[in-house]
Amino acid sequence: MNKIDTVSYDVNVNLRGKDFLAIASSDCILLSSLTIEDSPVRFASTSIQPSLPSPLCQESNGAGAEGGTAENGRSVPVLLADLHVELMPMPVFHSTTPNPDTTNSISDLRWNE
Above 70 in pLDDT, residue 41? no
Above 50 in pLDDT, residue 5? no
Phi, psi torsion values for 79, nearest 5 degrees: -105, 120
Among 70, 57, 66, 46, CA closest to 96: 57
pLDDT tens-digit profile of 48-89?
666 665 678 898 888 888 888 889 889 999 999 889 999 999
CA distance 77 to 9: 10
CA distance 58 to 77: 14
Helices (H), strands (E): how many in the chain? 1, 6
pTM to 2 decimal places? 0.80
Mean pLDDT of the chain: 80
